[in-house]
Structure 1
């Protein structure tokens, strides 16, 4: 937020410190909130890296923070502690879903998408109290959530692994951000930088023994995650092929094309996952055709054992659909 200068003439005439504080505070409250913007280049450690080094950094979960205020680490620690401490334990004999929804970039479109995706997936899969949402601002105010950084993601994943039964329960991951051929990008304004690669995510899931999982990746080039994360107990859905862009990620949007079609529309309805994906992909293709865009070609992989854990979850789905929220992503084709 930009600092708000006081009215010097008013302060001089008033000559009362208390009154001046009230005037300045009122003026500050009237200023609209400005979410973080990407206006500075990444650190030299990233910009001077070779393509091979970039991949190595993404595989290692590299994260760089710079120019943070002294109080940032403590405030972030408290936000993360509250989020992790609120997660409920699993119920013996019940296939519980644990939802982790994360916006890795601070552009508000991702913050809005991750928040609503967390709500939709928690309702659909009976995961209220077993959902963690990580992300930046929704564009209206500073975020009360833990940031969607690689480090916070790894802590959240470890917490879920701690309370779930890997033989019985399911992880549902929704990740949204800008993407690159090496994975999804972490970028918090001008302060936070990094990436998460398919190899890194696969290694984390393997380390925690989480094989029963629904992984939804909303980013350009996100098809790169599908081969590494596929397996007999794994369902993976990406917003694009490994060599294609996805659309709708302008900061002012409420949804990306993929998030709007799949989460905001198809998954709100009491229909099976495969039917929801089919409907969403058809809608995305129609929007891309309307905008004369190069098809994003979303990818999916559904393992042969997925039905065993998906069936009991879908049996508990709400029988009534909820209405989409926010501005339809396809409206961005007409401009703001």
Structure 2
């Protein structure tokens, strides 16, 4: 995985819609009237809310990541925002059509790949990155199905848009059907099928336990139970060496040394701090890289990942 678009763009809120209980949709267009950068299914953008909460982003303000859930070809960006936490509360309570927002991206952290067959698993707001994947799979003539769960029907977004796909989509609100039957869904997967999953952490963990290697996107950090030994990092571009204590991340150590690094989530979920690895064996603890990318060892997320050995050389 290579670093993606990290430029900041000012956008204007062209439309605001109520998508479901506690979920609003925003349609964003370039504030200068130009074209927004293109994107692919699975991409996300950062919203930069300014100096509202110290220490939560490279600019000292609130930074939150939202999956793009519209049509990649329509020239606009659409996001769905569930009201939970500081950033989403700002969107729900303050952001209205005509407002201008700072964004960063788009970034491909949940890469949609070509395949003859797909199984999509979505829970709650996890439908947002899955929606354009479903449209792309349909347009390509692939064999696919979606299992979509939520607390209640009224809390599940985009049901009207999904209705056109008929019985390819299984809608399973928890108050009617209970938890998603993952054994049944995954047990019917044919060879050559790519499985994509996005939703609450317990759902993703349950899917990964049943089928390792599933392509997932997390909105929260992956549980970190690995060792936290100290090691050193050589910064190849500046010629400096930084000690990373057991209780510190690489990102924290280089920040303390006065090195400016772009970041957003500090949880290994957004991909913003992705950094090339020139030497050493990274201990990947992020939720962004695929198993193949981890094995290659060419990049790492320095906000959470560590080193398996005493030394890393990074392109910083």
Task: State TM-score, norm by structure 1.
Answer: 0.27
Q: Which structure shows the higher strand fraction?
A: 2
TM-score (structure 2 length as normaliser): 0.28
Please identify the structure whose Cα radius of gyration is greater.
Answer: 1
Q: Which has the higher helix share?
A: 1
